[in-house]
């Protein structure tokens, strides 16, 4: 998963998923095939919304909005890797030209844009017609080209204040609240077991300490501590105290 993630992050523009694992058609009624419950913990209602969206006859666009480490990119990556004819982009490295070249050439059914608030205003504007009517047109090399697409846009951002208002209104926003302590511990324990091989009692201590001492629901902090402990419970407190001492 992490390897897959870093591969996507390096892509500068829209890049086709070379080996889509699933087509969108067999997904109807088969929940397990789009989101692996062990991969995204919780959010059953949001997962359901995505199933309904991809089974809708016409496009509907979702925007996940939430604090850091709340699972937004995880949703984007699952969708990108499992939906056939999907294209993944990171907002900071996406331009109108890159987007349009891809749209014209590949006619994606799903456009997945992580950190969409990092797209500049001109590039954001280029999505308006696509999302409203599916019609896109542009002047390229002195030639006008236009086409009609049927494309769902799924995107994520930390906040909406950098998004154009017309773009925002084309999305159904889905706001992720920061995790509660119980949710955070549950996710951290499962993630540290699966990805880092950390015993659940050690993972639970790490998660509770991070939540209560660092006052943050940042799972990335748990991962860092877990890696340093190498599953040795006696190291946990020392690492946390040292992190705390040198925290800003
Ligand atoms: N509900 C969850 N289930 C499983 N893992 C989760 C969940 N929420 C967060 N994580 C884990 O926390 C880490 C951060 O998640 P992710 O990258 O999706 O956050 P994000 O919301 O995109 O954050 P940012 O705004 O900083 O980009 C990842 O390792 C991810 O696997
Ligand atoms: Mg993210």
41 and 145, same domain (yes or no) = yes
d(CA 206, ligand 2 centre) in Å? 22
Q: Which helix (H) or strand (E) holds 173?
A: strand 172-175
Count CA within 13 A, CB hemisphere, residue 146: 8
- 155 C-beta closer than 6 A to ligand 1: no
What pTM value is reported for the model? 0.87
47 and 126, same domain (yes or no) = yes
Q: Flag whether pLDDT at 202 surpasses 80.
A: yes
Atom of ligand 1 at shortest range from CA of 223: 29
User: Best mutation site among 36, 71, 203 for ligand 1, i.e. most ligand atoms within 8 A of its Cβ?
Assistant: 71
pLDDT for residue 143: 86
Atom of ligand 1 at shortest range from CA of 75: 18
Of the residues 125, 152, 175, the one at which a domain ends = 175
- 70 C-beta closer than 6 A to ligand 1: yes
Domain that holds residue 56: 2-175
118 and 210, same domain (yes or no) = no
For residue 161, count other CB atoms closer than 10 A to its CB.
8
153 and 84, same domain (yes or no) = yes
Query: Using one digit for the tens of pLDDT, what is the confidence trace for 96-111?
Result: 888 889 999 999 999 9
Helix axis angle for 181-196 and 219-229, nearest 10°, is 40
127 and 191, same domain (yes or no) = no
Residue nearest to atom 10 of ligand 1 (CA): 71
For residue 4, count other CB atoms closer than 10 A to its CB.
11
How many independent structural domains does the chain possess? 2
d(CA 99, ligand 1 centre) in Å? 25
Strands across the sheet containing 172-175: 15-16, 86-90, 110-114, 152-157, 62-65, 172-175
Of the residues 146, 175, 204, the one at which a domain ends = 175
CA separation for the pair 49, 119 (Å, rounded):
25
158 and 215, same domain (yes or no) = no
CATH of the domain at 151: 3.40.50.300
34 and 133, same domain (yes or no) = yes
What share of the chain in percent tops pLDDT 70?
87
Q: Is residue 196 a contact partner of residue 87, using CB atoms and an 8 Å limit?
A: no
142 and 196, same domain (yes or no) = no
pLDDT for residue 236: 96
Helix axis angle for 200-213 and 219-229, nearest 10°, is 130
20 and 111, same domain (yes or no) = yes
166 and 186, same domain (yes or no) = no
Query: Using one digit for the tens of pLDDT, what is the confidence trace for 126-184?
Result: 999 999 999 999 888 888 989 999 999 999 999 999 999 999 999 999 999 999 999 99
115 and 32, same domain (yes or no) = yes
pLDDT-based confidence at 37, cuts 50/70/90?
Answer: confident
Of the residues 159, 175, 191, the one at which a domain ends = 175
């Amino acid at each position: 998963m992490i390897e897959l993630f870093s591969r996507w992050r390096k892509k500068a523009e829209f890049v086709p998923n070379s080996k889509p694992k699933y087509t969108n058609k067999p997904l109807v009624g088969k929940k397990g095939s789009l989101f692996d419950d062990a991969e995204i913990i919780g959010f059953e209602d949001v997962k359901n919304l995505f199933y309904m969206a991809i089974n809708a006859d016409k496009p509907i666009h979702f925007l996940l909005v939430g604090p850091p480490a709340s699972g937004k990119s995880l949703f984007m990556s699952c969708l990108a890797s499992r939906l056939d004819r999907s294209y993944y982009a990171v907002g900071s490295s996406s331009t109108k030209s890159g987007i349009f070249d891809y749209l014209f050439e590949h006619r994606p059914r799903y456009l997945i844009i992580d950190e969409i608030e990092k797209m500049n205003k001109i590039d954001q504007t280029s999505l308006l017609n696509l999302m409203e009517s599916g019609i896109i047109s542009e002047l390229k090399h002195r030639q006008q080209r236009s086409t009609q697409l049927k494309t769902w846009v799924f995107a994520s951002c930390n906040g909406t204040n950098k998004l154009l208002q017309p773009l925002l209104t084309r999305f159904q926003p889905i706001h992720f609240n920061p995790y509660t302590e119980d949710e955070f511990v549950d996710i951290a324990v499962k993630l540290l077991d699966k990805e880092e091989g950390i015993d659940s009692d050690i993972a639970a201590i790490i998660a509770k300490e991070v939540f209560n001492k660092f006052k943050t629901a940042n799972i990335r902090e748990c991962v860092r501590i877990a890696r340093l402990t190498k599953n040795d419970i006696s190291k946990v407190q020392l690492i946390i105290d040292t992190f705390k001492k040198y925290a800003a």
